[in-house]
Amino acid sequence: MRLYMHNTNTAMKGLIVGEKPSSCILFFFIIFLFLLSLSALAEPSKSIKAKEPCKRLVLYYHNIIFNGTNVANATSARATNQTKLGEDHFHFGMLMAFDDPMTKDNHLLSPPVARAQGFYLYDMKTASSAWFSYTLVFNSSEYKGTINIIGANIIDNETRDLSVVGGTGDFFMVRGIVTFRTDAIEVSKYFRLQMDIKLYECYN
């Protein structure tokens, strides 16, 4: 046992005071990596839990489709026709532009707190789905600024989640999720969506 300790001390002395300092650095680097790996193995695994949103808004989106005559009331219109692949009720390739009012309740005539401005594109051949890209523009006494939202709205699903990818003003650089729920629909005339906006990154 004494011989073993003597040899170890001699080896350490050679590493510390020898003529090759790079060997000493390498030795301690290996020891550091070894201890680091042990600490990583010893750390218990952590489950990822969804945190509470830092801000939440529930708003209603009202979309009145232009039929060729309702110029005064319409809030959306076809920008491109459907393609040859969309010659069924899925409208594949059709692009709709919109400037829709957003209200706090589901009444169309309630004062709008924001406007949803952007487009949706019918993007599936085998199901009713529209890809949304739009901005909520706020200009009220309560909020000012914008929220940018994108994602797939698979219409037949009861709820659909889209991504909040940024914002300005009171919503500077926000991130989160918007859950769509169809609240009312009149085919080719009008539909209303409930938008449950949950923000998880807030800087204001």
Gap between the Cα atoms of 129 and 79, Å rounded: 17
Q: Which alpha helices (H) appear in the chain, and where do they start and end? A: 2-17, 21-42
Gap between the Cα atoms of 106 and 73, Å rounded: 17
**Reported CATH class of domain 55-201:** mainly beta
pLDDT by residue for the chain (204 residues), tens only, comes to: 444 444 444 444 444 444 455 666 766 667 766 666 655 555 454 444 568 999 999 999 999 999 999 999 999 999 999 888 877 788 999 999 999 999 999 999 999 999 999 999 999 888 889 999 999 999 888 999 999 999 999 999 999 999 999 999 999 999 999 999 999 999 889 999 999 999 999 998
Q: How far is CA 73 from the centre of its chain?
A: 32
Cite the beta strand spans of the chain per DSSP E. Answer: 55-64, 76-80, 95-103, 114-122, 129-139, 144-154, 159-169, 175-186, 190-201
Domain residue extents for the chain: 2-42, 55-201
Gap between the Cα atoms of 124 and 176, Å rounded: 25
Gap between the Cα atoms of 112 and 133, Å rounded: 20
Gap between the Cα atoms of 114 and 139, Å rounded: 6
Phi, psi of 135 (to 5 degrees): -125, 130
Tokens of 29: 């680097």
Beta bridge partners of 121: 95, 131
